[in-house]
Amino acid sequence: MPDTADSGSATLARLRRELARGTAELAVLSILGTGRRYGYDLMKTLQQAGEGVLEIKEGTLYPLLHRLEDAGHITAVWEADGRARPRKYYAITPSGRDHLRLLRTEWSGLVNGMRDLLDALEEEAT
């Protein structure tokens, strides 16, 4: 029955999505910075981290991993072990570590910039 009168929460999802834009790359690369992982595992990990604010969907994750691989930031290997359904494990490369450093710098710059702006406005309101 959510038909009309939904204009708030329907917008919330989009708002959240737009705000989080670009953070998927940082989150994924950060996790891979601590060790190799396969895609589905990354997805599940991010679903639980930070109350789900960093959750990314399959349609986002897999293309992202392919972009990172094409850019040379990560490498992929299929691993079957004993299982019939093999997993694709990703590992970060030196270039990927450089990129991760850059991303972290940009992210904290943005966070600090926004914090400074909001703080300045609060002072002003005094």
Partner DNA sequence: CCCGATACCTTGCGCGACAAGGCATCGGGT
Partner DNA sequence: ACCCGATGCCTTGTCGCGCAAGGTATCGGG
Range list of H helices, 21-72: 23-32, 39-48, 58-70
x-marked contacts with DNA along 23-62 as a string, rule CB under 7 A: xxx------------xxxx--x----------xxxxxx-x
Which residues lie near its own copies (CB under 8 A)? 12, 15-16, 18-23, 26-27, 30-31, 33-34, 49-51, 53-54, 102-104, 106-107, 109-114, 116-118, 120-121, 124-125
In angstroms, give the least distance from the CB of 1 to DNA: 17
Cα 15 to chain centroid distance, Å, stands at 16
In angstroms, give the least distance from the CB of 80 to DNA: 10
- CA nearest neighbour of 90 among 40, 54, 27, 125: 40
Closer residue to DNA in complex, CB, 70/122: 70
Q: For residues 57-116, which are near DNA according to CB under 7 A?
A: 57-60, 62-67, 83-85, 87-88
Closer residue to DNA in complex, CB, 60/93: 60
- CA nearest neighbour of 92 among 68, 70, 57, 61: 68
Closer residue to its own copies in complex, CB, 77/120: 120
Rounded Cα–Cα distance for residues 70 and 106 (Å): 22
Contacts (Cβ under 8 Å, ≥6 apart) of 118 = none
For DNA, which residue of 18, 70, 122, 124 counts as binding (CB under 7 A)? 18
H-run or E-run covering 96:
helix 94-124
